[in-house]
Amino acid sequence: MNQLDALKQLTTVVADTGDFKQLAQFQPQDATTNPSLILKAVQKPDYAPLLAEVVAAHRGQPLDVVMDHLLVRFGCEILQTIPGRVSTEVDARLSFDADATVARARRIMALYEAQGIDRQRVLIKIASTWEGIQAAATLEREGIRCNLTLLFAFCQAVACGQARVQLISPFVGRIYDWHKKTAGAAWDETAMSGVNDPGVQSVRAIFNHYKRHGMATEVMGASFRSVGQITALAGCDLLTISPELLAQLAASDAPLGLALDAKAAQSMDLPVVNYGEAAFRLALNEDAMATEKLAEGIRAFCADAVKLEVLMQKA
């Protein structure tokens, strides 16, 4: 049994890509996309006709409307390949506007439903700002399931659990990147790998907290830099993995064991933690890594949304 098959016995494996033609070979349960992945896909020759087709069908409509049609088209194609759910992201430029995020999410879901897609097969991705979390709480009450992304801090995870969101995506690799860059020459790659990896430790802390306190929100580790980070989180509810790392897992037959144990976490001595808005904002502000990476992530997704709009205008 290769590592990918072994991982599937412990964790729900999710493919992190907009390139839906790559999905079949890995047979993931779910798939996640974001503006950067869609931008990357539409610049490939295989997907240029799809972009042109969507733009032609909706020419003259506002760019944000055409964008949502494009995202949903990719999502529908992905859903033909996987048995589970696809995550589609709300425009990151709305990350600090709860009402606008709710409105955009409703529109995206309506577009899916117009294509005959059951809403249970769609997760709306929203940045884990305070406003994003409140928007998600509203959407969840309406039966629109959410995936809270760009999550770097424990306070973000706790607030998402309180809001009863369906799923969170803590970013393992970007946490690792920040700590490695900050340490500079003092970074010891060997000593800081596996269970000592700061990104892995962040997800472990969130997972154990959720399981100990009965929070139903699913934990999906994301943004991996290496197979070692993935195997160190075997047993997490879900892990969303790039095609490149999925291929590495499929090519390895190294042993893989359970790293996170939900049952064991239930008996851990972990305090109950709650965050209102003021406490959330202070806790996030006190976490330099999370503050910087959240801002950086939103900026990057905003920039890629603009690039995607430029391509749509040229199509």
Domains assigned to the chain: 3-314 (3.20.20.70)
Query: What gap in Å lies between CA 168 and CA 160, rounded to an integer?
Result: 7
CA distance 241 to 214: 26
Residue for token digits 């047993």? 235
Residue 215 C-beta-side C-alpha neighbours within 13 Å: 28
Encoding tokens for residue 189? 């790659």
C-alpha 134/C-alpha 141 separation (Å) is: 11
The reported pLDDT for the residue numbered 159 is 98
What is the percent of the chain where pLDDT is above 70?
100
Q: What is the pLDDT of residues 105-133, one digit of tens each?
A: 999 999 999 999 999 999 999 999 999 99
164: left (phi over 0), alpha (psi -120 to 50) or beta: left
> Quick one: pLDDT at residue 15?
97
HEC string of the chain equals CCHHHHHHCCCEEEEECCCHHHCCCCCCCEEECCHHHHHHHHCCCCCHHHHHHHHHHCCCCCHHHHHHHHHHHHHHHHHCCCCCCEEEECCHHHCCCHHHHHHHHHHHHHHHHHCCCCHHHEEEEEECCHHHHHHHHHHHHCCCCEEEEEECCHHHHHHHHHCCCCEEEEEHHHHHHHHHHHHHHHCCCCCCCHHHCHHHHHHHHHHHHHHHCCCCCEEEEECCCCHHHHHCCCCCCEEEECHHHHHHHHCCCCCCCCCCCHHHHCCCCCCCCCCCHHHHHHHHHHCHHHHHHHHHHHHHHHHHHHHHHHHHHHC
The least confident of 19-33, 207-221, 223-237 is 19-33
Task: Give the sign of the dihedral formed by CA 74, CA 16, CA 126, CA 212.
Answer: positive
Query: What mean pLDDT value characterizes the chain?
Result: 97
Could you tell me how far CA 283 lies from the centroid of its own chain? 22
- Cβ count within 10 A of residue 187: 12
Would you state the pLDDT for residue 26? 95
Task: Quote the pLDDT of residue 37.
Answer: 92
Give residue 85's pLDDT. 98
Q: For the segment 126-182, what is each residue's pLDDT rounded down to a tens digit?
A: 999 999 999 999 999 999 999 999 999 999 999 999 999 999 999 999 999 999 999
Q: Is the pLDDT of residue 207 over 90?
A: yes
Phi-psi map region of 116: left, alpha, beta (phi>0 left; psi -120 to 50 alpha) = left
The pLDDT value recorded for residue 266 is: 97
Residues 6+ apart with CB under 8 A from 187: 179, 180
Average pLDDT over residues 25-31: 96
- CA angle centred on 11, ends 225 and 36, rounded to 5°: 40
150: left (phi over 0), alpha (psi -120 to 50) or beta: left
**pLDDT at residue 98 is higher than 90:** yes
**Which residue in the list 8, 21, 40, 125 is annotated as catalytic?**
125
With a cut of 90, say whether residue 35 has pLDDT above it: no
Which residues contact residue 66 at a Cβ distance below 8 angstroms, ignoring those fewer than 6 apart? 54, 55, 58, 312
Q: Six-digit token pair at 204?
A: 């472990």
What average pLDDT does this structure show over 269-273? Answer: 97
How would residue 252 be classed by pLDDT, with cut points 50, 70 and 90? very high
pLDDT above 90 (res 293)? yes
Residue 125 annotated to the active site: yes
